[in-house]
Amino acid sequence: MRISELSRRSGVPNATIKYYLREGLLPPGRATAQTQAEYDDSHLRRLRLIRALTGVRGLSVAAAKQVLDTIAEEDQTDTHHVLGLVFGVWPSGSSKPETADGQVPVECPETDALVDAMGWTVSTYNPARQVIDRTLETLRSLGMEQDWRSLLPYAELAARTARLDLDQLETLKDPLEKAERAVLLTFVLEPALMALRRLAQEDESIVRYGESPSLAALQPGRRRADEHE
């Protein structure tokens, strides 16, 4: 297909596609004339993945390129590896741990103990490791006595969440499509999962401490429907 059709089918503007081509995020099409090239479905899939990485969770174009390059270097039929690369990417928006450029794994003794206790297999280069050690440090500096053991019940729930995540990838055949879906599920779903926790916290708080009259007044829903004129 021509670039115009690629644009139409992907929903990505012509100029943006050209920018991705210049930056090397999208491989060049098959040249059919001096100024024309043919693109195929692999370009379409790749565009969707770029869109997922940049548009959805706000990775910079440079960071997205790094992910794509790494995926491209690997055997794409190795699903676990493709997924591992995607899962290992930390979103630029959040507190970003240093990535293992120098390939020196950071010491994360508490995470290691937790991972061990859970029986998990986790690469020492997974940037999520550092987040856990740092969070525990922060909590302790704020006067909470927490160590990795206090995270064990949370880890158990995280394992179940991960199973739900991977379930949703099972039906997809193409590894790049799996990667795209994994990006969406991991990054896009994150705020919704944290939002679910907040809603559940409010409900659990009501269950334990009772509903305050002032808060009840803030809940139209069924209660207020009864009083409705």
Under rule CB under 8 A, which residues in 130-149 are in contact with its own copies? Answer: 131-132, 135-136, 138-139, 142-144
Listed ranges 1-9, 17-25, 35-43, 119-127: which one lies at the site for its own copies (CB under 8 A): 119-127
CA pair distance 124, 206, nearest whole angstrom? 41
Q: Could you say which of 94, 107, 147, 149 contacts its own copies (CB under 8 A)?
A: 94
Task: Verify binding: residue 42, its own copies, rule CB under 8 A.
Answer: no
Q: Could you say which of 22, 34, 35, 80 contacts its own copies (CB under 8 A)?
A: 80
User: Phi then psi for 31, rounded to 5 degrees?
Assistant: -65, 130
Name the residue nearer to its own copies (CB basis): 36 or 161.
Answer: 161
CA pair distance 152, 75, nearest whole angstrom? 34
Site for its own copies in 184-223 (CB under 8 A): 184, 186, 188-206, 208-212, 214-215, 218-221
- DSSP symbols for 38-88: E--HHHHHHHHHHHIIIIIT---HHHHHHHHHHHHHS-TT-HHHHHHHHHT
CA pair distance 52, 89, nearest whole angstrom? 13
Name the residue nearer to its own copies (CB basis): 36 or 154.
Answer: 154
Secondary element (H or E) of residue 17: helix 14-23
Name the residue nearer to its own copies (CB basis): 31 or 196.
Answer: 196
